[in-house]
Amino acid sequence: MTDVTDKRSGKPARSGIDASLFYNPTARGIVYQGALLIGVVMLIWWLQSNAATNLAALGRSTGFNFLNQTAGFNIGFSLLPFDRTSTYLDVYLVGILNTLLVAVIGIILATMLGFVIGIARLSPNFLIRKLAAAYVEIMRNMPLLLQLFFWYFLALNALPGVRQSYELPLGAVLNQRGLYLPLLQSDDRFLILLGVFVVAVIGAILWRRRQIRKMEEKGERRPVLLPMLGIILIPTIIVYFIAQVPVAFSVPELTGFNYTGGFVVPPELTALVVGLVVYTAAFIAEIVRAGIQAVNYGQVEAASALGLKDSDRLRLVVIPQALRIIIPPLTSQYLNLTKNSSLGAAIAFPELVNVFMGTAINQSGRAVEIVGLTMAVYLTFSLITSLFMNWYNSRVALVER
């Protein structure tokens, strides 16, 4: 901002006709910005003190000390141990984790589906192209809440009751109450195995980089994929047999009303993820299509002229240029998906808005504090996603020479 002002009126400032601070554009800029900052801070302070005064006048307790009190209710699906003696802080954490879970799974799946549909929209095959177009137009033009109800009640009605459950391979069970998966049970030796696996993956990635550097130096192709698999799998399997890692599965069994044991994916989670993915993928598909079409066709021709094969042409020439256009709008779709996950409250998925702004707000009565804490979470998620995507964007941005 000050740069522009400087350029526009830079001459008088530098020529020293009037060098007083009052006429210095930079100094004035700083003063304006400072005044605005003070104004905003005072506004926030005024709102806060006004709310505190009025809440006190209404005879209501305020403050964050309720976070350490016992919540006294149960949460149906949680990644942390949770029971009725847990505190409101635990409720907050469980809600955040569940929201994060939906957001992360949703973003990954929506990106994959969105890219596939987006590329399908450019397919030379009439049927594929039109089907993709129909998908996009239908999915992005219906309210998300409606779609969530559709998926949720579809799942409930399509799946069998507990006693008529589908028995899947490996002891997994599928019914109205969810997908019951066998849960891996092991001891500390499993952690060693996991460590070896992670180290092997890192090693494989480093090795791939080295191979690519060599390829660029010498100009000849070398095998990459198969050796990478070898680097990852061979040490892992050797360690597995040497350490004799015990592997057992807790298999779901029907006891009384429901299956117990194993890991349960409730229908609420499935419906929410499917709904969010299907909806957001329609938008992502359009972004991808627009991004690819924006790459000048001359680039493809130039790549062919250089002798790049089909897959390399897409991977090395078209996609990198398309990504520059795709990334910024893609970021806002990721943010939308994260925020839209709050609609899960309507179909009983215990994400942040359901457990914290729904149940906790009612049991504790601390509306202002809880709404503030909840907004802070979504703001933080959004800013972190933005930061990451901005960093990625700057990496793939066109470097002008």
Partner 1 sequence: MKKLMITCAVAAAVATTSTAAFAQLLDEVTERGYLQCGVTEGVPGFSFPDDNNNWTGLEVDFCRAMAAAIFDDSEAVRYTPLTSQTRFESLANGNVDVLSRTTTWTMSRDTDLGITFTGTMFYDGQGFMVREEEGITSATELSGAAVCIESGTTTELNAADYFATEGLDLSNAVVFVNQDEVVQAYLDGRCDVYTTDASALAAERSGFPDPDAHIILPEIISKEPLGPSVRSGDTQWFNIAKWTLFAMLNAEELGVTSENVDEMLGSDNPEIRRLLGVEGDFGTPIGLSPDWAYRIISQVGNYGELYETHVGPETAIDIPRGVNNLWTEGGVMYAPPIR
Site residues (vs partner 1, CB under 8 A): 47, 50-51, 54-55, 57-61, 72-76, 84, 145, 149, 153, 156-157, 161, 176-177, 255-258, 260, 266-268, 340, 342-343, 345-348, 350, 353-355, 357-359, 361-363, 365, 367-368, 371-372, 375
User: What angle is formed at CA 119 by the lines to CA 116 and CA 124, rounded to 5 degrees?
Assistant: 130
Rg (CA), the chain: 28
3-state secondary structure of 349: coil
Q: Residue 393 in contact with residue 327, Cβ under 8 Å? A: yes
Give dist(CA 390, CA 292) in Å, integer. Answer: 20
CB atoms < 10 A from the CB of 312, how many?
Answer: 12
User: What angle is formed at CA 396 by the lines to CA 380 and CA 132, rounded to 5 degrees?
Assistant: 85
Q: Residue 322 in contact with residue 272, Cβ under 8 Å? A: no
Residue indicated by tokens 């092997």: 200
Q: Which helix (H) or strand (E) holds 304?
A: helix 297-305
Report the DSSP pairing between strands 183-185 and 178-181: unpaired
CB atoms < 10 A from the CB of 335, how many?
Answer: 19
Question: CA-CA-CA-CA torsion for 217, 219, 220, 226, nearest 10 degrees?
Answer: 50
**Least Cβ distance, residue 41 to partner 1 (angstroms):** 16
